[in-house]
Amino acid sequence: MPLDVSSAGSAHPPSPLGWGAARLHPESERLFLKGLDYCGSLPEVTAAELHPWVRAKFLELWALAQMVEPF
C-alpha cells in the first residue's frame, strides 16, 4: 500500500480522517495482521540486519507477535 505524501509539502498537516484515523479499512487491517504474522515468524536477530530507522518498529511488532492470546 503506497504512502500518501500528497500533502507533505503543504504548510498544514493532513486531516486525521484523511489518514483513516477514525477506523482502519478491513483490507488495511488484514494486511497489518499479515505483516504481524510475518514479523513473528522471523528470528529476533533479524533486527540487527535492519536499518536503524526501522529496527525499533520491527522489534515492537516482533514482540507483539510473540504474545500468546489469553483466549
pLDDT at 36: 60
Domain ranges for the chain, please list them: 25-66
Residue 33 or residue 69, greater confidence: 69
Residue 57 in this model has a pLDDT that exceeds 70: yes
Per residue in 8-40, pLDDT tens? Answer: 555 555 555 555 555 656 766 666 666 666 666
End-to-end CA gap in the chain: 31
Report which of 23, 4, 22, 24 is spatially closest to residue 14, judged by C-alpha positions.
Answer: 4
- Angle at the Cα of 53 from the Cα atoms of 57 and 60, rounded to 5 degrees: 10
At 68, the pLDDT band (50, 70, 90 cuts) reads: confident
39 close to 54: Cβ distance less than 8 angstroms: no
